[in-house]
Copies of this chain bind each other. A is one copy, B any other.
Amino acid sequence: MAAVGVSVRRIDGEDKVSGHAIYAGDLRLPGMAIAKVLRSPVPHARIRRIDTSKAAAIPGVLAILTRDNINVASNSFGAYVRDQQILATDKVRYVGDMVAAVAAVDTHTAQEAVGLIEVDYDELPAVLNIDEALKAGAPLVHENLDRRDPGYGRYGSHVVHHDTNICLHFRHERGDVGDGFKNSDQIFEDTFYFPSAQHYPMEPHVCVAQFEGDVMTVWSATQSPFPVRQELARVFGLPFSAVRVIVPSVGGGYGAKSGIKTEGIAGCLSKMTGRPVKLAFGSEETFKTICQPRAKMTLKTGVKKDGTFVARHCEVYLDGGAYANSGPSVTEKAGYRAHGPYRLPHVLTNAYSVYTNTVPAGAFRGFGGPQVAYAYETHIDMIAHRMALDPFEIRMKNLLDRGESFSPGDTPIDCDLKAGLRSVAQAIGWDAKPDAHQDSGPKRRGIGIATAMKDGGGTNKPANATVKIFFDGSALLSTGSVEVGQGMRTAFMQVVAEELSMPTDQVRVAVLDTHYTPFDKGTNASSATSIMGQAVLKAARDARRQLIEAAAAVLKAPVDKVKLENGMANHGEQKLSYRDVMQRHFRESEGEIWGRGYFKIEKDNNVPLGFPSPFWEIGFGAAEVEVDTETGEVKLLRYVSLTDAGKMIHPLQCHGQDEGAAVFGLGQALFEDLAYDKGQLLNGTLIDYRLPRFTDLPSAFSTHIMEGGGGPGPYGAKGMGEGGILPVAPAVGNAVFAATGARIQAVPLVPELVQKKIGSGKG
């Protein structure tokens, strides 16, 4: 292949590094107003009164939006449960809930006016974590939720009674865990805690909304422009044809940018003022908008004497915060994956999405995978230690083989997991490992490994693409996938060039515009290359077919004798450039070829989540740490990441994706956690919240990418970019245990926690 498997120049690379790329926040439209929002200072309260009179008196204030004048057809929204409002109506449910918004001539005026809005609250008791939320008689975050809302209670999930903070309960069962435990030689039960992290995209949430010519146009930093269109159409009572979402350059998403965030308020203010309105959250506001669900997970596993797994019972609680967002889906996915990539005849999992009065949680790179992988990969190490088995060997004994089922009826495992594990173990020097925690001195080294897997996403996504060949023979691809930094545009350009046998410099990828781009559900779950890629390939092949037909007609040759090669259509000695083919074939009509491609994973009600997994995304990791036993500081010395790309379209980007994922995992393993005090987020700024820095990278850091060819994407490509995050926290935790003998069942492994555990004796 000429264009695929090559690390060609990245389309958006130069513009992004040189500052030329244009983001939604860069837009300036004539007369554009700037919006700012007022947020709740209390975690749970009824709003008694909102007084905007002082704010309205500030010169330059153009409009103030509150529940009292909100101009929408429907004020509720939500991808799975319509539990959120454009602006709070009766209650606020977390510190940061949006209560009012101001549009003004500039940022300063808007901010000043926001500060003058007076809100009287009747404070209510709040539930601030999973345990509080689940207590009998706990205050309810949502009293009167209509649980019949679309998306709620799909598949195996249960509809839960009204008087609870459980948003969703997903149950997954096979075999009989009771019988399984009876037939086990030993049973182990452990509880684990995983933190709530911030996505921290470089670009916070931002949009510009404008009503012009009966069309609401929104330039938005969103991963899901079509769902945003759908929500805005409903909220504003408009037909789809009157809502246009355009996606300029996007500065990262990681799950944060699904669903409407700024768009509803900006739209209301634009309607009120008759002006374009920009609403850009600061990064501190983004901290208060969406985060990763915090998790509490208990795993109970029955094991034979030789280490063979028999049964596993998982109880998974995800803290969904104040609003559901994608939390229900994350919960289902976490629950489905909770028992790990192991052969387990008996499984029972209950997974719960729990409302609390904290920042809403939802989709986050890994989508519930990092939480449960941390639990099952720490648990397996603990089992091995208790049974005096080798952590590597117990994994090898229980790992699923290629072709085996993760869950009956679901797609068979599409790569060699054992080869992957062996590979990372060898790379970290597993066989030669010193019994590290026996070292003397305050600094001790240890190594740890972890294996993890997630079912691929994009299952419910219809993927569409069009490939147009212009009259000059050049090609344009249009797809609904968003370039959030993953390199999708470049990879798709390669696929189109490959399928059309033309140089990549003749191919461009169109800007995403819901008026024009064929429908797509959103860019998430490692589905761009794998799922959309297939639609792109089909669209290119459809265009290729038409181009060959045109060439055959011009060359008076049979269709099957025309060969395309490097921008030329050849029939024997006759050679025509694509430009000539187009111009001779279409002549005065100056026609264009429009190729269309469609791909969708078909529904299968026999599979727990309603769709078979399109592929299995894996993430294997091996870590060497050095722990300062006096301070508790954990230093990651070496890290090896491994995933399976199926086929690498653009190798450099694949490695970049895996590196990025591993660094995300590193943050959650060592530093990241949203800390609250009485519902107040304590570290919602970059000064207080510790993101990984380049200096945190291990000095030896490598990513290994298998090309097992098992994916549904072009040329066997699978999704990737999330797998790498999954094993980091357990691999690091396992290495810390190896180094110190201290078993810590929570991340991040901040020095205080590690030092305390070491001090309290070995786990």
Contacts and interface: CB of A to CB of B under 8 A. Distances in A.
Interface string A9-30: 0011001001011100011111
B600 A212 contact: no
A174 B518 CA distance: 54
A519 B18 contact: no
Contacts of A518: 592
Contacts of A478: 515-516
A241 B489 CA distance: 14
Contact of A510 (B11, B474, B515): B515
Interface string A346-370: 0000000000000000000000000
A98 to B, nearest CB: 27
B519 A516 contact: no
A278 to B, nearest CB: 12
Contacts of A476: 241, 515
Interface in A489-523: 489, 505-508, 510-511, 513, 515-516, 518-519, 521
Contacts of A598: 589
B589 A600 contact: yes
Contacts of A230: 472
Interface string A468-486: 1011111110100000000
Contacts of A31: 20
Given A30-B28, A213-B11, A462-B588, A239 B472 contact: yes
Interface string A612-632: 000000000000000000000
Which among A27, A29, A239 has the greatest number of chain B C-beta atoms within 10 A?
A239
Contact of A508 (B30, B215, B588, B603): B215
A241 B161 CA distance: 55
A573 interface: no
B214 A11 contact: yes
A471 B519 contact: yes
A416 to B, nearest CB: 33
Contacts of A519: 471, 590-592
Contacts of A20: 31, 212, 274
Interface string A61-80: 00000000000000000000
A176 to B, nearest CB: 33
A198 to B, nearest CB: 27
Mostly, the A contact residues are: loop
A142 B685 CA distance: 67
A240 B589 contact: no
A15 B213 contact: yes
Contacts of A507: 241
B30 A462 contact: no
Given A241-B476, A588-B603, A591-B462, A274 B18 contact: yes
A242 interface: yes
A309 to B, nearest CB: 35
Contacts of A513: 513, 516
Interface in A554-605: 588-592, 598, 600, 603
Which among A18, A521, A588 has the greatest number of chain B C-beta atoms within 10 A?
A588
Contacts of A26: 29-30
A590 B511 contact: no
A508 B475 contact: no
A460 interface: yes
Nearest to A28: B28
Contacts of A508: 214-215, 239, 241-242, 515
A11 B516 CA distance: 20
A18 to B, nearest CB: 7
B22 A460 contact: no
A11 B321 CA distance: 44
A479 to B, nearest CB: 13
Interface string A26-68: 1111110000000000000000000000000000000000000
A532 interface: no
A117 interface: no
Given A11-B213, A518-B592, A474 B29 contact: no
A212 B462 contact: no
Contacts of A590: 462, 519, 521
Nearest to A502: B239
Contacts of A29: 22, 26-28
Nearest to A493: B214
Interface string A234-248: 000001111010000
B213 A12 contact: yes
A233 interface: yes
A506 B239 CA distance: 6
B588 A460 contact: yes
Contacts of A30: 22, 26-28
A240 B470 contact: yes
A589 B600 CA distance: 7
24 contacts: A12-B213, A15-B213, A20-B31, A22-B29, A22-B212, A26-B30, A230-B472, A233-B472, A239-B473, A239-B505, A239-B506, A240-B470, A240-B474, A241-B475, A241-B476, A241-B506, A241-B507, A460-B588, A471-B519, A519-B591, A519-B592, A588-B600, A588-B603, A589-B598
Interface of A: 11-12, 15, 18, 20-22, 26-31, 212-215, 230, 233, 239-242, 244, 274, 460, 462, 468, 470-476, 478, 489, 505-508, 510-511, 513, 515-516, 518-519, 521, 588-592, 598, 600, 603
Given A15-B213, A239-B508, A462-B591, 19 more contacts: A20-B274, A22-B30, A26-B30, A28-B30, A214-B508, A239-B470, A239-B474, A239-B506, A240-B471, A240-B474, A244-B511, A462-B588, A462-B590, A471-B519, A478-B516, A513-B513, A513-B516, A588-B600, A589-B600
